Amino acid sequence: MKILVLNAGSSSQKSCLYQLPETGLPEHPPSSLWSATIDWTVADGCGVLKVKAAGQKLEIKLESEDRLEAIKLMLDTLVTGETQVLKELAEIDIVGHRVVHGGSEYSQAVLITTPVKEAIASLIPLAPTHNPAHLEGIKAIEQILGDIPQVAVFDTAFHTNIPPKAAVYPIPYHWYEQGIRRYGFHGISHKYCAARVAQLLGKPLESLKIITCHLGNGASLAAISGGVGINTTMGFTPLEGLMMGTRSGSIDPAILIYLMREWGFDAEQLNRLLNQESGFKGVSGVSADLRAVLSAVEEGNPRAILAFEMYIHRLKTNIGAMLASLGGLDALVFTAGIGENAAIVREKACEGWDFLGLKLDLEQNNQRPEDMDISTPDSKVRILVIHTEEDWAIAQEAWYVSHQ
C-alpha cells in the first residue's frame, strides 16, 4: 500500500511517500519513493519547495505565502515531471498527518472525521502556529484526493504519562480540571529517538534514562525513563520552554501583564510578539534561522552573539531540569534540524557537564554524524546524534489504523 505523510511544522512542510506491504511492517525505516520539503524561513513573503524522487532533485521558488497552493504544487510533483513516481494521485491509499496538539481527548492516532477536524480547530489557540497548518494540509488532501482516508498522529500523545507533579501548573486547581496542564509536544520525535537510542546502544529501552533534545525552529526537550516520558519543556502550548526561532520560550508571565497595562497590548498583539517576533528573530534582529544568525556571529554582530549565547544558556538550563527529573543519565540525544546539523550547538551544549562524566568527541562531532555515538570512549554518558524519522513513525501509525 502507498502511504503519503504530511508533516507540517511552524515554518516548514515535510512530506514523503512510502510503499509498504499489506502484511507487515519492516523493522527499520525504508527509503521513501518521494520526499519534499517547503521551507518558509528562506525569505519574507515566499518559500522554497525542494523535491527528491526517481534519482532526481527539483527546486522551485514559491512566490507567495499561500500554503494551500504550495501543497497542491508539491503534490503535483508526484505525478508530473522528472520527479514523477505515480501515474495518478488516486494510487495513494491513505494519508497520515502530524498534528501538534490533540489536547487531552486524543492520546493515540485516529482516523480523521469531522469531529476530529473540529477538535483540531478548537485547539488552535493552544498551538496557533501549528494546528492551522495541519488543517490546511487536511483540506488540501480533501480537495485533491476526495474522501481518501486520513489519519491524525498527535505530538501530544507520547507525553500523556507525565506525572501530575510535572503536568499540573501551580495555579488554582480548578483550571487543571478545565484542561490547563502541561501537554508537551514533539512526542512523535522524542518517542522515535528514544527507541533508536536503545537500538544503537544495544540495550533494553526499559533500562535507560535519556534526555532527547529536539532542536529545530521549534524546540523541546524530554526526560524519558524506561521508554516513558516523565517531563518535557513545552507545556500547555508549544510556546513554553526553550528559546526558539521566533518563539520566546518561557518568560516571566508578569511581563505580559505589564505590556497589557502600560502599553495597551491585546491578546493578538501578545500572541504575535511571543510566537512570531521573539526568539532568534527578536533578539538578533537578523533572522529566525540559526544559519543566518551564526553567519552574523562570525561577522561580530553583537545582537547575534547575544542571541546565540542566550540560546545555549537556556538549552543547558533546561537540560539540567530534565536531568533532575531523571535522577541520572545514560544518553543525551540531539535531533531535528539544529540538533542534527549544528555542530557548534552540540559542542556548547555539552560543555560544563564534566561532573556527570559526559565527554564529547570533538572530531566525531564535526563529521556530520547521523545515528552515531559522538561521545569519547571513556564518557559515562553517551552522546548521540539521531536523524529523527517522524515521517516513518507517522506512516507506521497510518498503517496500523488502516489495518484496524
| Residues 246, 377 within the same domain | yes
Q: Determine the Cα–Cα distance for residues 347 and 341; give it in Å rounded to an integer.
A: 12
| Residues 117, 215 within the same domain | no
Question: In this model, does residue 160 exceed pLDDT 80?
Answer: yes
The confidence score (pLDDT) of residue 27 equals: 77
| Residues 123, 36 within the same domain | yes
Provide the terminal-to-terminal Cα distance of the chain, rounded to the nearest Å: 15
Average of per-residue pLDDT values in the chain: 93
**Domain for residue 368, yes or no?**
yes
pLDDT band at 41 (very low <50, low <70, confident <90, very high): confident
| Residues 373, 232 within the same domain | yes
Rounded mean pLDDT of 81-97? 94
**Domain for residue 302, yes or no?**
yes
| Residues 84, 231 within the same domain | no
Question: In this model, does residue 60 exceed pLDDT 80?
Answer: yes
Q: Which of 43-47, 124-128, 245-249, 305-309 has the lowest mean pLDDT?
A: 43-47
- What backbone phi and psi angles, to 5 degrees, belong to 95? -125, 130
**Domain for residue 180, yes or no?**
no
Active-site positions?
155
- Per-residue pLDDT of 172-190, as tens digits, reads 999 999 889 999 999 999 9
Angle between helices 114-122 and 131-145 (to 10 degrees): 150
**Domain for residue 218, yes or no?**
yes
Q: What is the CATH number of the domain that holds 149?
A: 3.30.420.40
| Residues 73, 214 within the same domain | no
In this structure, the dihedral spanned by the alpha carbons of residues 16, 21, 23 and 26, taken in order and rounded to 10 degrees, is: -70
Q: Which of 121, 154, 187 is the last residue of a domain?
A: 154
| Residues 249, 335 within the same domain | yes
The confidence score (pLDDT) of residue 39 equals: 87
Structural domain boundaries enclosing 341? 204-385
**Domain for residue 166, yes or no?**
no
State percent of the chain over pLDDT 90.
76
**Domain for residue 334, yes or no?**
yes
Question: In this model, does residue 58 exceed pLDDT 80?
Answer: yes
| Residues 242, 120 within the same domain | no
Rounded mean pLDDT of 215-233? 96
Number of domains in the chain: 2
CB distance 155 to 101 below 8 Å: yes
| Residues 348, 232 within the same domain | yes
| Residues 148, 61 within the same domain | yes
The confidence score (pLDDT) of residue 384 equals: 98
State percent of the chain over pLDDT 70.
99
The confidence score (pLDDT) of residue 36 equals: 95
Q: Determine the Cα–Cα distance for residues 328 and 112; give it in Å rounded to an integer.
A: 40
Q: Determine the Cα–Cα distance for residues 221 and 227; give it in Å rounded to an integer.
A: 14
| Residues 265, 379 within the same domain | yes
| Residues 120, 211 within the same domain | no
**Domain for residue 23, yes or no?**
yes
User: Can you read off the three cell numbers belonging to residue 343?
Assistant: 555542530
Question: In this model, does residue 10 exceed pLDDT 70?
Answer: no
The confidence score (pLDDT) of residue 132 equals: 87
The confidence score (pLDDT) of residue 23 equals: 85
Give the residue, 171 or 140, on which the prediction is more confident: 171
The confidence score (pLDDT) of residue 290 equals: 96
**Domain for residue 42, yes or no?**
yes
- Per-residue pLDDT of 331-376, as tens digits, reads 999 999 999 999 999 999 999 999 999 999 999 999 999 999 999 9
Rounded mean pLDDT of 123-149? 88
The confidence score (pLDDT) of residue 29 equals: 84
